[in-house]
């Protein structure tokens, strides 16, 4: 990793994970900087957060392209324009495709609101609650072609309360998720990391 590696962050929603990264990056000793924020939709709080922080933004909507492959290539081109060292998917609700992974595989991480390999997909908090687990959490992983299957960088555990709803559980997960994301991305930036099969080691 170069000094102060360049992060491109992709979002689809409220962007609280992005905000945690933006806040951390405000201190140069954190070791990384957010050089751009991209989204797959307009008018989301995630993009507004980037704008307020003075970070350039871009949007690539699947519906604006004739195929998913063309969208994936356009997204990869937009990301590449900012020359990232690390791409962070922070609540980005689309699967990136083959072209994206050819270009950014091994240096794209995603955060998932469940303890992988349990409860992959769009509804991690709901699925954990319905299953009746007593602990769940969040997982940061190196993105591969599967759905939330990549090699695990870090995990954070939270308890499930008897009176939780999907919303209260997801909020508790997100609090832990933001701390884990900031801590792990900072360490990846400052110390480097290696991926050996499914084993990720921080500290190059």
Strands 6-11 and 33-39: parallel
- The residue from 107, 112, 170, 172 that is catalytic is 112
Q: Is 123 a catalytic residue?
A: no
Residue 120 binding ligand GRF, by CB under 6 A: no
89 strand-pairing partners: 10, 110
* CA-based nearest residue to 152, from 144, 140, 135: 140
How buried is 63 (Cβ within 10 angstroms: 0-12 exposed, 13-18 middle, 19+ buried)? exposed
Residues 36-65 touching ligand GRF, rule: CB under 6 A, are 46
34 in a labelled binding site: no
Contact flag: residue 111 with ligand GRF (CB under 6 A): yes
Residue whose C-alpha is closest to residue 137's, from 116, 109, 153: 116
Q: Which is nearer to ligand GRF, 70 or 118 (CB)?
A: 118
Minimum CB distance to ligand GRF smaller for 16 or for 108: 16
Say whether residue 186 binds ligand GRF (CB under 6 A).
no
Stretch that binds ligand GRF, among 1-9, 98-106, 111-119, 187-195 (CB under 6 A): 111-119
Q: At what angle do helices 16-25 and 45-52 cross, to 10 degrees?
A: 20
| Site for ligand GRF, residues 89 to 108, rule: CB under 6 A | 90-91
**Residue 99 class from Cβ within 10 Å (0-12 exposed, 13-18 middle, 19+ buried)?**
middle
Closer residue to ligand GRF (CB): 104 or 110: 110
188 annotated as ligand-binding: no
**Distance of alpha carbon 169 from alpha carbon 126, whole angstroms:** 8
Does the footprint of ligand GRF cover residue 139 (CB under 6 A)? no
Q: Which two tokens stand for residue 170?
A: 């997801």
Residues flagged as binding site for (6R)-10-formyltetrahydrofolate: 68, 93-96, 110
Q: Which are the catalytic amino acids? A: 112
Residues flagged as binding site: 15-17, 68, 93-96, 110
**Interface residue list for ligand GRF (CB under 6 A):** 11, 13-18, 46, 90-91, 111-113, 174, 177
């Amino acid at each position: 990793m170069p000094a102060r590696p360049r992060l491109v962050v992709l979002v689809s929603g409220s962007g609280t994970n992005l905000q945690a990264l933006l806040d951390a990056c405000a201190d140069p000793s954190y070791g990384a900087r957010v050089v751009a924020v991209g989204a797959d939709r307009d008018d989301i709080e995630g993009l507004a957060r980037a704008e307020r922080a003075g970070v350039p933004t871009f949007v690539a909507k699947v519906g604006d392209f004739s195929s998913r492959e063309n969208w994936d290539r356009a997204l990869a081109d937009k990301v590449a324009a900012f020359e990232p060292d690390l791409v962070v998917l922070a609540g980005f609700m689309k699967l990136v495709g083959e072209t994206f992974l050819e270009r950014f595989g091994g240096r794209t991480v995603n955060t998932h609101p469940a303890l992988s390999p349990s409860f992959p997909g769009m509804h991690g908090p709901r699925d954990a609650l319905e299953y009746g687990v007593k602990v769940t959490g969040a997982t940061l992983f190196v993105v591969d072609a599967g759905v939330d299957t990549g090699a695990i960088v870090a995990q954070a555990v939270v308890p499930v309360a008897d009176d939780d709803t999907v919303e209260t559980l997801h909020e508790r997960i997100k609090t832990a998720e933001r701390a884990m994301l900031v801590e792990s991305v900072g360490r990846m930036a400052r110390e480097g990391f290696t991926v050996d099969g499914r084993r990720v080691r921080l500290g190059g």
